[in-house]
Amino acid sequence: MSTIGFGIDIGGSGIKGARVNLEDGEFIGERLKIKTPQPATPEAVAATAAEIVRLAEWEGPVGLTLPSVIKGQIARSAANIDPSWIGTDVHELFARHLGDREISVLNDADAAGIAEVAFGDPRAREGSALFLTFGTGIGSALLVNGQLFPNTELGHIIIDSVEAERRASSAAKDRDELSYKKWAKRVTTVLREYERLLNPGVFVVGGGISREHEKWVPRLEVEAPVIPARLRNRAGIVGAAMAVAAHVAP
Ligand code: BGC
């Protein structure tokens, strides 16, 4: 396995790519970022991903993330992206734009989860870990000894008639103008439900709001330790590069 990979993280506002050292999870050189085209249709997004690879002068395999369920390299959901992604053969799409090379596409939270478990806090490396990313939605990745159970979509679980991500994403905090204290109560409700059903050994919490983890993580009332993510916005790119290098294509 080559020790240098390339990952592209496709988000609602930006498409970001970098070369990744697969031995330590660090970027090699600069991270390239291009605004997500609007409307963010598959063709427009794939053309932007190709532009990033061209600018980086990268010729090897490319891993990509999408905020979507990816099964058999077909996008199956579009909770916070353009609905035209549903049913898209993402392998065919990106292969057409990126040319003859190995490609794998996976869910954004799944990518971030494998990277956090590999290069973040060592407590997440052994046994079961539930990685969660708080942003526009709630993304989830379930891992056992670093191995991924893909496409868990736990942000869409309904608790007391309210969807988890509607209740407790960081967008919900902004929308409802909640203090960290009030928002942490909502996150506790969601994490307790995950704990009741899945009993992970640890929770790892990521997303932009994990930068302020000291304001809310200590307020969470669950049994398992809650560990703030360490790779932050690097995680998606690193996980995508890891996935394609390991020939993982859900
Ligand atoms: C989507 C997931 C995604 C998460 C984070 C959710 O709304 O359903 O696929 O991982 O947002 O982007």
Helix (H) or strand (E) holding 235: helix 235-245
pLDDT value for 190: 98
Q: Using CA positions, which residue lies closest to atom 12 of ligand 1?
A: 67
Ligand 1 geometric centre to CA of 109 (Å): 7
Ligand 1 geometric centre to CA of 61 (Å): 24
Confirm if 126 and 84 have CB atoms less than 8 A apart.
no
Q: What is the pLDDT of residues 126-145, one digit of tens each?
A: 999 999 999 999 999 999 99
Q: What is the mean pLDDT of the chain?
A: 96
Mutate to test the pocket of ligand 1, among 90, 107, 134 (most ligand atoms within 8 A of CB): 107
Q: What is the pLDDT of residues 103-131, one digit of tens each?
A: 999 999 999 999 999 999 999 999 999 99
Q: Using CA positions, which residue lies closest to atom 6 of ligand 1?
A: 137
- Taking CA atoms, 75 is separated from 64, 86, 124, 137, 205, in Å, by 12, 5, 28, 17, 25
pLDDT value for 81: 86
Domain ranges for the chain, please list them. 4-108+237-245, 121-229
Domain 121-229 part of CATH 3.30.420.40: yes
- State which ligand 1 atom lies nearest to the alpha carbon of 69: 9
Confirm if 5 and 18 have CB atoms less than 8 A apart.
no
pLDDT value for 1: 58
pLDDT surpasses 90 at 2: no
Nearest CA-CA partner of 131 in 232, 223, 12: 232
Q: What is the pLDDT of residues 44-103, one digit of tens each?
A: 999 999 999 999 999 999 999 999 999 999 999 998 889 999 999 999 999 999 999 999
SS3 154: helix
Q: What is the pLDDT of residues 15-30, one digit of tens each?
A: 999 999 999 999 999 9
pLDDT value for 233: 87
Ligand 1 geometric centre to CA of 23 (Å): 27
pLDDT value for 178: 98
Nearest CA-CA partner of 62 in 71, 72, 50: 50
Residues in contact with 189: Cβ distance below 8 Å, sequence separation at least 6, in sequence order = 159, 160, 167, 168
User: Could you tell me the fold of the domain covering 4-108+237-245?
Assistant: Nucleotidyltransferase; domain 5 (3.30.420)
